[in-house]
Amino acid sequence: MQGEPRRHQVTEMPPVKAHVTEYQFPSVICGDCGKETCMPLPAKIAGHFGPQLTALIAYMTVVCRLPRRVVEAMLADVLGIEISLGSTQKAWQEVSQAVEEPVFQLQEQLPQQTVLNVDETGWRTNGAKRWIWALVASQFVFYTVAIHRNTAVLVSLLGAVFQGILCSDRFSAYLKFHSGKMQFCWAHLKRDLQGILDRPQSLEAERFARDALAQYASLFRLWWKFRAGLIDRAQLIDRSKRIKSKFRSLAVSYWDSCDREVANLANAFGEHHQRLFTFLEETGVEPTNNAAERALRTAVQWRKISFGNRSSEGEIAVGRLLTVVQTCRMQQRHVLGYLTSAVVCHRHRNPPPNLLPTEPST
């Protein structure tokens, strides 16, 4: 035989069948009083599902975003496990309890982060309006469902004063909360400018949007050169000076425009000039808030399927499980393996596996 043989592989799933373990506990009758006594179940086997199956139910709900009834049908069809809708809920809640401590540890780390991307979007609990917040650090993501969309939520998570750099859109709650260094999202600004250009109300508005978008394009050409290693940080800062000056000139020229949208953006360029260009000088800061928006996209997809929560306990579980799943992905950890380990530790009353960053945040 000459040369390499042709290789062809076929992957098939083996027959899947659930493994059932039966535990028997004999009863003992007291010789004096005649009372029958049976040893209680140990905590580690108190439920009807093993750790991996319990974790799988949470995994299918959070990662695969399957409705509960689809999870119920899939377990019956694929694994031959007959399970009630209430049992899937109990499993989901148990996993939430199992990850309570590591998620709380991440929450405690939020005020110490040097850079945080933050965003929020609508949520529902029994039809009532809620907000789900996503805070993205360098090595973990934290979610929480809150009643409000205001500074009180930020204070509860980050403290009265946050020392790091906050990256966000221009929502008023972030401005009221944080007086330190910020980075406003250029993707939001681009969408606003493109909207003016697509439907200009005047020649003035068209000229403003066109000139601003041209400077935006120049700014991001420099940024991508820096990201590609073609220029260093000092060159990035030096070459951007002209662009920053152009944006300041646009602010001065149009901040009293008769067009409301143009005046608002011009004032943003002037009032928040430094907060638009923090990314040029600070390591770990991106010019857009895409990290937080991507984190929220998973929550939005889940919301469209589940229509939110039924209780405050469900809100807490959503925040915890989304936090664990997205953090594991960011840290390149096996999600189902982590959830299974957490359930095992929970049942044995042992400390859960850690989710804290192994290195200082940057």
| 362 belongs to a structural domain | no
14 CB contacts (<8 Å, ≥6 apart)? none
4 CB contacts (<8 Å, ≥6 apart)? none
| 64 belongs to a structural domain | no
Domain range enclosing 246 = 186-280
Pull the structure tokens for residue 58: 């949470």
In the predicted model, is pLDDT for residue 68 greater than 90?
no
Measured distance CA(26)–CA(39) in Å, rounded: 8
Give the three-class secondary structure for 116: strand
The larger pLDDT score, comparing residue 64 to residue 117, is at 117
| 238 belongs to a structural domain | yes
121 CB contacts (<8 Å, ≥6 apart)? 131, 132, 296, 299, 300
| 236 belongs to a structural domain | yes
| 145 belongs to a structural domain | no
Report the pLDDT value the prediction gives residue 361, as an integer from 0 to 100: 46
Residue from 97, 86, 92, 99 nearest 62 by CA: 92
- The burial of 121, by beta-carbon neighbours within 10 Å (0-12 exposed, 13-18 middle, 19 or more buried), is given as middle
| 290 belongs to a structural domain | no
Total structural domains within the chain? 1
How far is CA 154 from each of CA 71, 136, 222, 321, rounded to the nearest angstrom? 35, 13, 33, 20
Residue from 342, 338, 335, 296 nearest 319 by CA: 296
The larger pLDDT score, comparing residue 189 to residue 39, is at 189
- pTM for the predicted model, two decimal places: 0.88
Number of Cβ within 10 Å of residue 272's Cβ equals: 15
Highest mean pLDDT of the ranges 3-17, 233-247, 293-307: 233-247
Report the pLDDT value the prediction gives residue 359, as an integer from 0 to 100: 56
| 296 belongs to a structural domain | no
Average pLDDT over all residues of the chain:
90
Number of Cβ within 10 Å of residue 333's Cβ equals: 13
Measured distance CA(137)–CA(293) in Å, rounded: 13
The larger pLDDT score, comparing residue 47 to residue 361, is at 47
Number of Cβ within 10 Å of residue 291's Cβ equals: 20
Give the three-class secondary structure for 65: coil
| 13 belongs to a structural domain | no
161 CB contacts (<8 Å, ≥6 apart)? 180
210-234 confidence digits (pLDDT tens): 999 999 999 999 999 999 999 999 9
In the predicted model, is pLDDT for residue 242 greater than 50?
yes
Measured distance CA(286)–CA(277) in Å, rounded: 10
Report the pLDDT value the prediction gives residue 358, as an integer from 0 to 100: 66
The larger pLDDT score, comparing residue 266 to residue 39, is at 266
Measured distance CA(55)–CA(338) in Å, rounded: 9
| φ and ψ at residue 194, rounded to 5 degrees | -65, -35
C-alpha 105, offset from chain centre: 16
C-alpha 200, offset from chain centre: 36
